[in-house]
């Protein structure tokens, strides 16, 4: 039974993409489905790191929630979202999907599939992420999958995770507009970090100031990986501490701003007082990696050429790196294509995200850059972080935020 919600249309007070954007997406998805001979999709959604587990459901429905979507080749999709008391309100959060139901379960999905005439159809299963987006693995729950497949014994199921990844590769003008809003939030978060990074303030106060800047200006909560110390770690971490900042501390941070689900990635290094010459050297090479790498980020260029360009200055300088490369960015992080590990100075050469996919860059692809270098000839336990989000345009790369690339000194 469909829940009838008579409350105010909350979606009017939330950032919303247009119905034209919805129709564009649904057309492209259905074109891919027709190419693969699919009658419908079952899209799984679950809360996971970096919100990647809800990305596909949000892309199709504008709802950021755990649950399911039954998406037919023809007709209106049926979404199941939220726990009961939240699911009651789901219809007023968006105006894309008419049929939004609470109580998500495999049994409810089976009933919806039968309503849509899919009991004997060819159904594609869409998980959380695929095609080398390995931070969020392409998995679904055992009970979720078996409950649906056993409840539809005459349907034929196949893996269709790549369909959504492929459609999401190139961003629309509306999506770019949301990314630009997110980029504005990223700069406000940077300003908050600079203003709060003072001797005597605690590390957790810096993180809190950044989150306040994000939420108070219309953004959505996302992650901040930060470490402060003399010296800092090789990479930022999740848990902010009560460590009191002192002159000579260096802060390294990787963070996301998030506007209506759209993520902008920033990596930055900040020093309380003039940093030592060793850190200056690492940062100089990091900047060279950034500029050499993004110069290759143009339509028609092989993804492998971009990765090689990012690595070249670090390898020439004998630097080691935790991450060095780029990853797709949009409603989740990372998106396909992604290569941030591996390389001559990389510390995880066998990781899945060390592979370099065979991809050609296209206009309106969007990427986060990761440059996390250390100098093994000096110390192996500390390094710096540099990066921003790049939009591939017909005229070349466009850095999306106003966050300075230079080493910030306060």
For position 162, which CATH number holds? 3.40.350.10
Per-residue pLDDT, 1: 37
Per-residue pLDDT, 135: 58
Phi, psi of 249 (to 5 degrees): -70, 150
Consecutive sets of 10 residues in the chain, 410 residues long: mean pLDDT of each?
52 85 97 97 80 84 88 95 66 82 89 96 84 58 89 95 91 98 98 98 97 97 93 89 96 96 97 97 98 98 98 97 94 89 86 87 97 96 97 97 98
Task: Give a yes or no: residue 149 inside a domain.
Answer: yes
Residues in the chain: 410
Considering the domain architecture, whether residues 223 and 297 belong to the same structural domain is answered as yes
Task: Give a yes or no: residue 5 inside a domain.
Answer: no
Considering the domain architecture, whether residues 162 and 186 belong to the same structural domain is answered as no
Instruction: Report DSSP state, residue 275.
Output: P
Considering the domain architecture, whether residues 163 and 185 belong to the same structural domain is answered as no
Per-residue pLDDT, 81: 84
Per-residue pLDDT, 237: 86
Per-residue pLDDT, 90: 65
Considering the domain architecture, whether residues 161 and 188 belong to the same structural domain is answered as no
Q: Which two tokens stand for residue 11?
A: 């979606």
Among the three residues 112, 145, 168, which one is the final residue of a domain in this structure?
168
DSSP string, 30-82: HHHHHHTT-SEEEEEE---GGGGGGHHHHHHHS--SSEEEEEESSS--EEEES
State the burial class of residue 139 (Cβ atoms within 10 Å of its Cβ: 0-12, 13-18, 19+): middle
| Element (DSSP H or E) covering residue 27 | helix 19-35
Q: How far is CA 188 from CA 218, 253, 257, 405, in A?
A: 11, 15, 9, 15
Task: Give a yes or no: residue 253 inside a domain.
Answer: yes
Considering the domain architecture, whether residues 267 and 326 belong to the same structural domain is answered as yes
Considering the domain architecture, whether residues 160 and 261 belong to the same structural domain is answered as no
Q: What is the CATH number of the domain that holds 316?
A: 3.90.230.10
Sign of the alpha-carbon torsion through 11, 15, 19, 21? negative
Domain range for 221: 173-409
Task: Give a yes or no: residue 309 inside a domain.
Answer: yes
Among the three residues 128, 150, 168, which one is the final residue of a domain in this structure?
168
Task: Give a yes or no: residue 254 inside a domain.
Answer: yes
Task: Give a yes or no: residue 4 inside a domain.
Answer: no
Give the residue among 52, 34, 111 at the shortest CA–CA distance from 80: 111
Task: Give a yes or no: residue 2 inside a domain.
Answer: no
Angle at 225 between CA 222 and CA 229, to 5 degrees: 150
Among the three residues 138, 168, 198, which one is the final residue of a domain in this structure?
168
In the three-class reduction of DSSP (H, G, I as helix; E, B as strand; rest coil), residue 168 is classed as helix
Q: Which two tokens stand for residue 222?
A: 């996302």
CA dihedral 290, 291, 296, 299 (to 10 degrees): 90
User: What is the CA 362 to chain-centroid distance, rounded?
Assistant: 19
CA end-to-end span of the chain: 59
Give the residue among 27, 142, 14, 121 at the shortest CA–CA distance from 70: 121
DSSP string, 189-219: HHHHHHHH--TTSBHHHHHHHHHHHHHHTT-
Residue 386, C-beta contacts closer than 8 angstroms, at least 6 positions apart: 267, 268, 269, 283, 286, 287, 289, 290, 371, 372, 373, 405
Per-residue pLDDT, 131: 47
Per-residue pLDDT, 64: 83
Considering the domain architecture, whether residues 97 and 187 belong to the same structural domain is answered as no
Considering the domain architecture, whether residues 106 and 191 belong to the same structural domain is answered as no
Considering the domain architecture, whether residues 226 and 374 belong to the same structural domain is answered as yes
Q: Which two tokens stand for residue 399?
A: 């850095």
Task: Give a yes or no: residue 1 inside a domain.
Answer: no
Domain count, the chain: 2
């Amino acid at each position: 039974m469909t829940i009838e919600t008579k409350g105010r249309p909350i979606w009017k007070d939330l950032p919303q993409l247009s119905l034209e954007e919805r129709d564009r997406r649904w057309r492209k998805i259905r074109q891919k489905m027709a190419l693969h001979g699919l009658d419908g999709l079952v899209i799984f959604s679950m809360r996971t790191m970096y919100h990647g587990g809800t990305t596909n459901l949000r892309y199709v429905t504008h709802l950021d929630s755990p649950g399911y979507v039954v998406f037919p080749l023809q007709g209106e999709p049926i979404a199941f979202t939220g726990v009961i008391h939240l699911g009651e309100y789901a219809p007023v959060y968006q105006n894309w999907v008419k049929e939004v139901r609470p109580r998500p379960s495999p049994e409810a999905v089976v009933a919806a599939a039968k309503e849509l005439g899919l009991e004997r159809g060819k159904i594609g299963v869409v998980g959380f992420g695929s095609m080398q987006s390995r931070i969020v693995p392409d998995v679904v729950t055992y009970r979720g999958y078996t409950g649906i497949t056993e409840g539809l014994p005459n349907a034929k199921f196949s893996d269709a995770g790549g369909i959504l990844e492929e459609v999401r590769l190139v961003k629309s003008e509306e999506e770019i507009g949301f990314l630009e809003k997110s980029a504005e939030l990223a700069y406000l978060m940077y300003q908050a970090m600079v203003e709060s990074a003072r001797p005597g303030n605690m590390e957790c106060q810096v993180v809190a100031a950044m989150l306040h800047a994000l939420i108070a200006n219309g953004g959505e909560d996302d992650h901040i990986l930060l470490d402060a110390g003399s010296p800092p770690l090789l990479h930022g971490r999740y848990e902010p501490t009560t460590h009191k900042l002192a002159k000579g501390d260096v802060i390294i941070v990787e963070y996301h701003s998030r506007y209506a689900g759209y993520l902008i990635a920033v990596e930055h290094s900040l020093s309380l007082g003039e940093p030592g010459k060793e850190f200056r050297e690492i940062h100089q090479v990091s900047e060279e990696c950034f500029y050499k790498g993004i110069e290759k980020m143009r339509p028609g260029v092989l993804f492998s050429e971009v990765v090689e360009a990012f690595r070249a200055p670090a390898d020439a300088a004998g630097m080691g790196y935790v991450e060095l490369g780029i990853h797709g960015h949009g409603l989740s992080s990372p998106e396909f294509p992604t290569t941030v590990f591996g390389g001559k100075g990389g510390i995880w050469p066998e990781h899945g995200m060390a592979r370099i996919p065979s991809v050609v860059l296209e206009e309106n692809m969007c990427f986060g850059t990761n440059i996390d270098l250390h100098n093994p000839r000096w110390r192996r336990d500390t390094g710096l972080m540099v990066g921003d989000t790049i939009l591939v345009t017909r005229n070349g790369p466009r850095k999306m935020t106003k966050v300075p690339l230079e080493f910030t000194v306060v």
